Amino acid sequence: MQRVKQKIAIVTGAASGIGAACAARLAQEGALLVVADLNLEGAQEQVRRINEAGGHAVPAQVDIGDESSIDALFDLTLKTWGGLDILHNNAAATSLSSTVDAAVEALDVGVWDDTMRINLRGTMLASRCALPLMRARGGGSIINTSSGAAQAGALGYSAYGVCKAGIEALTRYVAAQHGKEGIRCNAIAPGLIVTPVTQAYYAGETGEMMLSHHLTPRLGQPEDIAHAVVYLASDEAAFVTGQVFNVDGGLLSHQPYYADEIRARPAAMANATKGKA
């Protein structure tokens, strides 16, 4: 089934990880794609894979921290495919969050400013460019990538968590302002997703500790997010807008002592669930 057949889509941050999986899945479902990333070679490689598999995609280099670069991306999309139906705002400056983001007291103001400029401002600018193109086609779907970090505090990653909370608020504002035009806007908040970049980090004891806080028997895969993106992009989600979908294996849906309780009472937990589907 091709749920987004002939729909025109942009996926940012699509050279690897979650974005690459989302682009590949949209292509499988029939979308005409612009695969956009700061890493042009990576975007080109992803396009090669999509097209060899029978899809239709073109690469684009985009710096979502640069307004003119974003404008050029949408110009390319219009010239190549003639419009826009789907925008997946997935790109983010993950190198900042993984290296220099910190607790508030230790946070460099420049890191805060760069995180907001690239992640939050970039998502706003891309959405602003998408709106008139979608309006011209009678509607469309904007899908933003948020994070569980927007919904619960942690010891670090302060700027990242706050910018993602801003993206969730932006999602609701765009949905409210443009719903009557047939333009929907939703966000997905991934949990812990294992990608080539994060695989080593989640290996061993760290991965076991992370997994203990999930309700599922495994951590997430990029394809888990891709399935949700295709749904939100498709007409199946025509009555869904202004929502944040947590695709996180139940990470934020349980009591804070869940993992400790399982460790303390393994036998009791096993007996409690015995025989249940």
Catalytic residues: 160
User: What six digits make up the tokens of 231?
Assistant: 């749904």
Element (H, E) at 241: none
List C-alpha distances in Å: 140 to 101, 181, 261. Answer: 34, 9, 45
Element (H, E) at 154: none
Q: How many C-beta neighbours within 10 Å does residue 184 have?
A: 24
- Please classify residue 276 by burial: count the beta carbons closer than 10 Å to its beta carbon, then call 0-12 exposed, 13-18 middle and 19+ buried: exposed
Strands in 160-231 per DSSP E: 183-190
User: What six digits make up the tokens of 123?
Assistant: 């998502």
Element (H, E) at 11: strand 8-12
d(CA 101, CA 108): 8
d(CA 275, CA 203): 31
Q: How many C-beta neighbours within 10 Å does residue 264 have?
A: 10
List C-alpha distances in Å: 108 to 14, 51, 70, 178, 276. Answer: 29, 43, 27, 36, 50
Query: Please, how many CA atoms are within 13 Å of residue 245, restricted to the half-sphere of its CB?
Result: 20
